[in-house]
Amino acid sequence: MRDTDLYAQILGVEQPWRVTGVELRSSQGEVEVSVEHEGSAPLKCPMCGASVTRYDTRLRRWRHLPTCQYRTILAAQVPRVRCPEHGVKTIQVPWAEPGSGFTALFEALVIDWLREASTSAVARQLDLSWDQVDGVMQRAVERGLARRQLEVPRRIGVDETSFQKRHEYVTVVADLEGGVVQHVADGRGKEALGIYYESFSEEELAQIETVAMDMWRAYIAATSEALPGAESKIAFDKFHVAMHLGTAVDRVRREENRILRERGDDSLTNTKHLWLYHPDHLPEKSSAQFDQLVHKALKTSRAWMLKELAMEMWEHRDPHAAEKIFNAWYSWAIRSRLDPIKKVARMIKRNLQGILNAIAAGVTNARLEGINTVIQGLKRTARGFRSRPRFRNAIYFHLGGLDLYPDSLAHSKS
Ligand SMILES: [Zn+2]
C-alpha cells in the first residue's frame, strides 16, 4: 500500500478529496499529509447549496490525531466558490468544523482529555496553547447547548455556588433524576431561577413535583410565583440543613477555641473537619483524638451532638414522626445557650414545612451533593475562573449531559 493510500484510509478522506502526498519531517517530529479536491468535482455554495463554480483555492492546515508519536498536520488546497447570491465563500471540508484549526477527530480527543484534566494540563500534554484548548471547550458547549432539547424534570434541585471572589454567585438548576445540570444563571436572586421557569409552558411547569433547595428567600419566591401548589413542592433537603448546622458547630468551636487558647490549650485548633464527619465515617486514625475532644470541648461537643440529633429527623420517611422529633429537638436546641445553634434552630422552625416536604418526597442528597462536589472540584483544578461565562461553560461541559462532539462525529461517540 502506498503511503498516500494508507493516509487516505486512516484519515477517512473520500472522493472528491484525495491524499496527494505525505511528508515526514523527522527532525520536527511531524508528518504533513496533503489533500486535494479534484478539479472536475462539482462544487456547492456552503450557504445555500447551489451548484457553483470554483473561484480559487486557499491553503489551510489542521492539526490531526498523532501518527504514532508524530504530530500530524492535514494540509489542503481548499476551493473557494463564487455564488451569485453569497459571493466568494470557502467550501466546507468534511473533516473539520468551519473555522477550526483542528480536525473533528482531534477536537474530540481534546474533549475527551478535558473530561479528565484541567485546561492547562491538556494544553501541556497535547502541545497546544491554553487559548486553543479553551476554544475547543467553549465551542463544544455552544454546540451541545444548541443541540439539546430541554425537558421539564419531575424533580429539580437549585443551588447557589460562588465563583472566584467570595460574593459572586451563580445559580445552578439540576434535574435530580437525570443528574444533569440544566441551567446556570448569574447571581442568586429571584430572577436567576425565574428565567429557568420561564423556559417552560404552564403545562410543563405543572409536571414539576419537587424543587429541592436551600432555605433561601429568593428561590422560594421565584418558585412560589412560577409553580402552582409550590408550598407542597418546595423541599429543603438534608444536605443544606446539615451544612447550616455544620457551620453553626464550627462557629461554636472557633469561639471555644479562642477561650481555650487563652489558657494555653490549643486542642481545638485545626479540628474543624473532625466535627463535620458523621460519627460512623470518622477516620480510624482520628477516633482517639476525637473521643478526647468530645469530653473536653464542652460547648463544641454539645453543638455537635445537637447537629447529629437533628439529623435523626431524616431517619423516617414519615413526616409526622419527623415533626415530633423536631419539636423535641427544638426545645433542647433553643435552651442550649449556643447562639449559632439557636439561630439555625429558628431558621429550621420557620421552614419546617419544606423540610417535611423533602422527607415525604424522599429527596436524597446523593445528586445534590454529587453535583456540588464536582463543581467544587472544577474550581480547585481551574484555580479559579477568569470570568463567569467560563465558569458557567465548565459546569455545562462536565455536568450538562451535553452532546459535545463536532457535528461530523456527533452521535457516533458518547
Ligand atoms: Zn449561495
92: CA distance to ligand 1 center in Å? 13
Chain segment 326-376, per-residue pLDDT in tens: 999 999 999 999 999 999 999 999 999 999 999 999 887 778 888 988 998
Flag residues of the chain having pLDDT under 70: 1, 165-166, 410-414
44: CA distance to ligand 1 center in Å? 8
What are the residues whose beta carbons fall under 8 Å from the beta carbon of 137, sequence distance 6 or more?
110, 111, 114, 119, 393, 394, 397
Closest by CA to 352, choosing from 308, 310, 315, 306, is 310
Phi, psi of 115 (to 5 degrees): -65, -25
pLDDT given at position 1 = 64
90: CA distance to ligand 1 center in Å? 11
Q: Which residue type sits at 330? A: Y
CA distances from 370 to 116, 347, 403 (A): 17, 25, 21
pLDDT given at position 410 = 53
Chain segment 73-122, per-residue pLDDT in tens: 999 999 999 999 999 999 989 899 888 899 998 999 999 999 999 999 99
Q: Ligand 1 being an ion, which residues bring their Cβ within 5 A of it?
A: 45, 47-48, 83, 85-86
pLDDT given at position 216 = 92
pLDDT given at position 55 = 93
Reading the block at residue 208, the C-alpha cell is 414539576
pLDDT given at position 139 = 94
101: CA distance to ligand 1 center in Å? 24
13: CA distance to ligand 1 center in Å? 25
**What is the dihedral sign for C-alpha 8, 11, 15, 16?**
negative
pLDDT given at position 37 = 92
Q: How many helices and strands in the chain, by DSSP H and E?
A: 15, 11
39: CA distance to ligand 1 center in Å? 20
pLDDT given at position 231 = 94
Closest by CA to 333, choosing from 320, 319, 344, 321, is 344
Say if CB 175 and CB 155 are below 8 A apart. yes
pLDDT given at position 411 = 46
Q: Which residue type sits at 114? A: L
227: CA distance to ligand 1 center in Å? 47
pLDDT given at position 283 = 85
154: CA distance to ligand 1 center in Å? 45
